[in-house]
Amino acid sequence: MITSGSLPRSTRSARRSADFAAATDCSPDGHAARAELIRCTLAELAGLRVTSEADRHAAGHLWERLEAESAWHASGEPLRMVRGQFGLVNLIRDSVDLLPRGDDDQWRDVAVRLAAVPAMLASWRHPSTSAASPG
């Protein structure tokens, strides 16, 4: 799992806010953590009280999306991210290309994300080799 301690010092010090993540953990542990977050969110959502029609629509949409994402994880689909054109390499590239660049802080975010690309690719190596091993 990628933590701030595993990123280069320049990457850690350049982070400006808690809402900006320099890197996505693409390892099996990262996928497992996201799957667990989905399970916890679904459990919490199930316990919430619907107080309006808007709540009902929002909860229904969120529930459907989370259930689909949970099924995606359960079926082993994260391991398919190693494929080419729409796979993980392009998602990593997009994670840099799609960042805003309007001011100095946003350009710092771009630099932080670029510095994190090697760590993201390193976390990707394990799923790509384990996806190849089952056949």
Which residues form the domain of 55?
24-132
Phi-psi region of 60 (alpha: psi -120 to 50; beta: other; left: phi over 0): alpha
Within a domain: 17:
no
Q: What is the pLDDT of residue 70?
A: 95
What would the mean pLDDT of 30-58 be, rounded to a whole number? 92
Within a domain: 113:
yes
Longest dimension (CA), the chain: 50
Within a domain: 13:
no
Q: Which amino acid is at 59?
A: A
Q: How many domains does the chain have?
A: 1
Within a domain: 118:
yes
Kindly report the average pLDDT of the chain as a whole number. 78
Within a domain: 10:
no
For a pLDDT cut of 70, what percent of the chain falls above it? 71
Within a domain: 6:
no
Within a domain: 3:
no
Among 119, 121, 111, 117, CA closest to 14: 111
Tens digits of per-residue pLDDT, 58-98?
Answer: 999 999 999 999 999 998 887 766 555 667 778 888 889 99
Tens digits of per-residue pLDDT, 53-63?
Answer: 999 999 999 99
3 state SS of 108: helix
Is-contact 65 75, C-beta < 8 A? no
